[in-house]
Structure 1
Amino acid sequence: MLLEPAKTVSIFQANQEFQRFAAGETIFQQGELGNVMYGIIEGEVDIVINGKVLETIHAGDVFGEGALVQPEATRASNAVAKTDCKLACLDKERFLFVVQETPMFALHVMRSYSNRLRKFKQQF
């Protein structure tokens, strides 16, 4: 059983430090060094590779997790706010704490990462 989007949102809301992005604003760019992952509290985000929208993700989804599981890794895609968004961030320390306290969160993150990779492979 995976976490429901509402549970994922509640995990990120405990952070209480939110970032807001206006529709069309870039959250991060391919090639940048990343040190946080994001959870969508409100809104939608497009994951873009080579100018093509790979996926549109919604409240309860996570993205940017590669930055926490691959040390010194650069972002593999662009993330662009499709709508006005409210996002919460987890750095590596907080991510490890949440995984320890809520192991199902780790499965949610892995499934999200795996699904995105599958969609990417289908594009090529």
Structure 2
Amino acid sequence: MTVHALDTMRALASQGEVCAFAAGERIFSAGDSGDCMFGVLEGVVQLSWNGDAAHEEIQAGDVFGAGALVTGDHRRYGNATALNDCRLLVMNREKFLFAVQESPMFAIELLGSIDERLRHIKDSLRR
């Protein structure tokens, strides 16, 4: 993620909902209902799925849980756990659309970040 996206998330955080999670704390579990995505402002979050058989780490400036913004009656696919003390921006669909309206590059940067994460996962599965 570029510095610009993290700056956009920080600006949103100054007027939005920020949640703190302690190291080891579960943010959500597989099967939970979800209506928001999260942007990592500080810390590292581990996403795991398939009974924790696979995982990835989400760093500051990246987002996770975006499926909740595009799928009605969304259920979380995996688990999200704070690996260390974290501050997360909580973005529902309305807040996300506001961010995109205020900074259209934010959407492009998020798509790039998600694409990079998917490529990394795909590459790790080939090994």
Q: TM-score per shorter chain, which class?
A: 0.7 to 0.9
Does structure 2 conserve the Cα–Cα contact (< 8 Å) formed by 1:54 and 1:119?
no
Does structure 1 conserve the Cα–Cα contact (< 8 Å) formed by 2:27 and 2:82?
yes
CA separation of 1:118 and 1:77: change in aligned 2, threshold 3 A: farther
CA separation of 1:121 and 1:33: change in aligned 2, threshold 3 A: farther
Does structure 2 conserve the Cα–Cα contact (< 8 Å) formed by 1:13 and 1:88?
yes
CA separation of 1:75 and 1:82: change in aligned 2, threshold 3 A: same
1:68 and 2:60 correspond: no
Q: What is the CA–CA distance in structure 1 between the aligned matches of 2:89 and 2:104, rounded to whole Å?
A: 19
CA separation of 1:75 and 1:117: change in aligned 2, threshold 3 A: farther
User: How far is the alpha carbon of 1:53 from its aligned partner?
Assistant: 4.6
Does structure 2 conserve the Cα–Cα contact (< 8 Å) formed by 1:9 and 1:59?
no
1:92-103 counterparts in 2 under 5 A?
92-103=93-104
Match of 1:13 in 2: 13
Does structure 1 conserve the Cα–Cα contact (< 8 Å) formed by 2:40 and 2:87?
yes
Match of 1:104 in 2: 105
SS in 2 for 1:30: coil
Unaligned runs of 5+ in 2: none
Does structure 2 conserve the Cα–Cα contact (< 8 Å) formed by 1:3 and 1:104?
no
User: Normalized against structure 1, the TM-score is what?
Assistant: 0.84
Please say which of residues 107-116 and 55-64 is displaced more in the overlay: 107-116
Paired residues in the alignment total: 123
User: Where does structure 1 differ by over 6 angstroms across 4 or more consecutive aligned residues?
Assistant: none
| RMSD, matched Cα | 2.1
Q: What is the CA–CA distance in structure 1 between the aligned matches of 2:87 and 2:22, rounded to whole Å?
A: 9
Q: What is the CA–CA distance in structure 2 between the aligned matches of 1:55 and 1:119, rounded to whole Å?
A: 9
Q: What is the CA–CA distance in structure 2 between the aligned matches of 1:67 and 1:15, rounded to whole Å?
A: 21
SS in 2 for 1:109: helix
Unaligned runs of 5+ in 1: none
Q: What is the CA–CA distance in structure 2 between the aligned matches of 1:87 and 1:3, rounded to whole Å?
A: 16
Q: Percent identity?
A: 42
User: Normalized against structure 2, the TM-score is what?
Assistant: 0.82
The amino acid of 1:15's aligned partner reads: Q
Does structure 1 conserve the Cα–Cα contact (< 8 Å) formed by 2:40 and 2:62?
yes
CA separation of 1:44 and 1:53: change in aligned 2, threshold 3 A: farther
Q: What is the CA–CA distance in structure 2 between the aligned matches of 1:113 and 1:71, rounded to whole Å?
A: 20
